[in-house]
């Protein structure tokens, strides 16, 4: 049996239901691979899984931003790994990838990037690499790593275009893989409700109060909108300062207490998916994103998406066919978009079926891993 090994030293339980844990899981469950998941026991939230064979590393040995405990593991075990699965175009991933290829030149190297447009240029410059190991050595390592990879995937079309432009020699090894949905879990645990059972609910699922997610913009916009018979559900871990901010918002707009429902963090996946199952829209107000998992999950349940102009927005909305991209962070303009999408245009049975059909074809991890696997063994 072939073996895939995923290296993600900082994994916590939340990563298991995202690409980090789902890719090796689907390689095993769908493609018949044995898997290894190499990480550490990170505090009290160390990972546990019945579907992943977790290898807990011993004490970290960090020097020059690289974990030499991981390097030592690869030196010993590379020959027993058929596919090495790494994340991010970073100095550690470059070192791990090159060590793996040094000890197993027939092994396959898969690099998954998690890039928005802004991050692409940060990766490209490799600032840490250039600062600490020199301008002459850095490009050489970068060149070796890129050429060593058998498959490089990224979540957005824009990042794929940038990669192919900068690395034209390996365009055939670069593939667009948006973050997908755990379709097997949903099929086994959730029955997707038809459109006529959906309510006037807008979901916002994020790290609420974080700078990136910019939830305040959405709340302000919802308060300015005409959606008096709609509710906004806020789901996710909440930062303390946001709770103070929302209290002030409620005191100035007491009618919002019944319309903006703070759910908080949900760790039970079935419970989370049931919120998708009753809603009509997902709204994001992020300052930057790649193609977040919540886009795929919303589409899988037939929701339309209203979002700021983040990197994955065009793909998620299919250029406004499955929702709307708000081109401004002005609450008044975002409020107008809410009114237009939820009231004027609305959601309907026909669009619901189109979204379901598209997402169930293009956003299943069971389908995504087949594409990755085909490219890995083609090279």
- Mapped onto helix, strand or coil, the DSSP state of residue 233 is strand
> How far out from the chain centre does Cα 154 lie?
10
Q: Among the listed ranges 6-15, 78-87, 219-228, 306-315, which one has the minimum average pLDDT value?
A: 6-15
CATH number at residue 50: 3.40.50.2000
201 shares a domain with 115: no
Please name the helix (run of DSSP H) or strand (run of DSSP E) that holds residue 218, with its range, or none.
helix 215-224
Evaluate if residue 45 carries a pLDDT over 70: no
Q: What is the DSSP secondary structure assignment for residue 236, as one 8-state letter? A: S
- Which neighbouring-strand residues pair with 84? 5, 109
Evaluate if residue 163 carries a pLDDT over 50: yes
CB 202 within 8 A of CB 283: yes
Evaluate if residue 140 carries a pLDDT over 80: no
Which of 50-59, 129-138, 312-321 reaches the highest mean pLDDT?
312-321
154 shares a domain with 267: no
pLDDT, mean of residues 243-272: 95
CB 338 within 8 A of CB 225: yes
Residue 316, token pair as written in the block: 């998620």
Please state, in angstroms and rounded to a whole number, the distance separating the CA atoms of residues 29 and 9.
23
Residues in the chain: 379
115 shares a domain with 32: yes
Q: Which residue has the higher pLDDT, 170 or 212?
A: 212
- Mapped onto helix, strand or coil, the DSSP state of residue 5 is strand
Give the pLDDT of residue 169.
83
Dihedral sign (CA 235, 240, 245, 247) = positive
Q: Name the band, by pLDDT with cuts 50, 70 and 90, for residue 168.
A: confident
Q: Name the band, by pLDDT with cuts 50, 70 and 90, for residue 125.
A: low
Give the pLDDT of residue 190.
97
270 shares a domain with 170: no
Residue 78, token pair as written in the block: 């590379």
211 shares a domain with 174: no
pLDDT, mean of residues 282-310: 96
Q: Domain containing 11: what range?
A: 3-180+364-378
Q: Which residues contact 101 (CB under 8 A, 6 or more apart)?
A: 107, 109, 148
SS3 per-residue string spanning 70-108: HHHHHHHHHHHCCEEEEECCCHHHHHHHHHHHHHCCCCE
CB 160 within 8 A of CB 360: no
Residue 247, token pair as written in the block: 């209290």
Give the pLDDT of residue 379.
62
Cα–Cα nearest to 101, from 115, 86, 112: 86
Please state, in angstroms and rounded to a whole number, the distance separating the CA atoms of residues 17 and 52.
12
Dihedral sign (CA 218, 224, 227, 229) = positive
Q: Name the band, by pLDDT with cuts 50, 70 and 90, for residue 127.
A: very low
Q: What is the pLDDT of residues 63-117, one digit of tens each?
A: 877 889 999 999 999 999 999 999 988 888 888 999 999 999 999 999 998 766 5
Which of 13-17, 89-93, 264-268 reaches the highest mean pLDDT?
264-268
166 shares a domain with 42: yes
Give the pLDDT of residue 182.
97
SS3 per-residue string spanning 303-371: CEEEEECCCCHHHHHCCCCCEEEECCCCHHHHHHHHHHHHHHHCCCHHHHHHHHHHHHHHCEHHHHHHH
Evaluate if residue 28 carries a pLDDT over 90: yes
Could you count the other beta carbons within 10 Å of the beta carbon of residue 189?
12
Q: What percent of the chain has pLDDT over 70?
A: 91
Please state, in angstroms and rounded to a whole number, the distance separating the CA atoms of residues 233 and 56.
37
- Which neighbouring-strand residues pair with 7? 38
354 shares a domain with 310: yes
Give the pLDDT of residue 136.
61
255 shares a domain with 197: yes
224 shares a domain with 165: no
Please state, in angstroms and rounded to a whole number, the distance separating the CA atoms of residues 305 and 102.
45
33 shares a domain with 157: yes
Count of the separate structural domains present in the chain: 2
SS3 per-residue string spanning 6-22: EECCCCCHHHHHCHHHH
pLDDT, mean of residues 159-170: 84
Q: Name the band, by pLDDT with cuts 50, 70 and 90, for residue 133.
A: low
Give the pLDDT of residue 124.
54
pTM (predicted TM-score)? 0.91
pLDDT, mean of residues 256-270: 96
Based on the number of CB atoms within 10 Å of its own CB, is 134 exposed (0-12), middle (13-18) or buried (19 or more)? Answer: exposed
236 shares a domain with 172: no
160 shares a domain with 23: yes
Q: Name the band, by pLDDT with cuts 50, 70 and 90, for residue 146.
A: confident
């Amino acid at each position: 049996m072939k073996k895939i090994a995923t290296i993600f030293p900082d994994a916590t339980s939340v990563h298991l239901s995202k690409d980090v844990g789902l890719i090796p899981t689907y390689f095993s469950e769908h493609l018949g691979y044995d898997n290894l998941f190499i990480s550490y026991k990170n505090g009290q939230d160390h990972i546990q899984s019945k579907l992943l064979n977790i290898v807990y590393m011993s004490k970290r040995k960090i020097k020059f931003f690289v974990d030499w405990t991981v390097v030592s593991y690869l030196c010993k075990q590379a020959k027993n790994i058929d596919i090495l699965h790494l994340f991010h175009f970073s100095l550690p991933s470059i070192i791990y990838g090159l060590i793996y290829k040094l000890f197993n030149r027939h092994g396959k190297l898969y690099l998954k990037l998690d890039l928005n447009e802004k991050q692409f240029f940060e990766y490209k410059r490799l600032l840490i690499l250039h600062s600490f190991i020199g301008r002459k050595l850095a490009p050489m390592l970068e060149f070796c790593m890129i050429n060593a990879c058998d498959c490089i995937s990224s979540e957005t079309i824009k990042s794929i275009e940038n990669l192919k432009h900068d690395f034209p020699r390996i365009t055939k090894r670069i593939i667009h893989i948006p973050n997908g949905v755990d379709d097997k879990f949903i099929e086994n645990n959730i029955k997707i409700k038809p459109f006529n059972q959906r309510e006037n609910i807008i979901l916002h699922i994020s790290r609420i109060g974080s700078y990136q997610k910019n939830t305040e913009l959405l709340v302000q916009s919802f308060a300015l909108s005409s959606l008096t018979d709609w509710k906004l559900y806020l789901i996710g871990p909440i930062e303390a300062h946001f709770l103070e901010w929302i209290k002030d918002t409620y005191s100035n707009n007491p009618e919002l207490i019944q319309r903006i429902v703070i759910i908080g963090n949900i760790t039970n996946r079935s419970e989370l998916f049931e919120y998708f199952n009753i809603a009509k829209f997902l709204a994001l107000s992020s300052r930057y994103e790649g193609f977040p998992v919540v886009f795929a999950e919303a589409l899988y349940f037939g929701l339309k998406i209203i979002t700021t102009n983040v990197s994955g927005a065009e793909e998620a909305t299919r250029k406004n066919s499955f929702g709307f991209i708000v081109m401004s962070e002005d609450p008044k303009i975002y409020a107008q978009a809410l009114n237009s999408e939820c009231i004027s245009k609305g959601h309907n049975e026909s669009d619901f079926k189109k979204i379901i059909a598209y997402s169930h074809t293009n956003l299943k991890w069971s389908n995504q891993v087949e594409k990755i696997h085909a490219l890995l063994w083609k090279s």
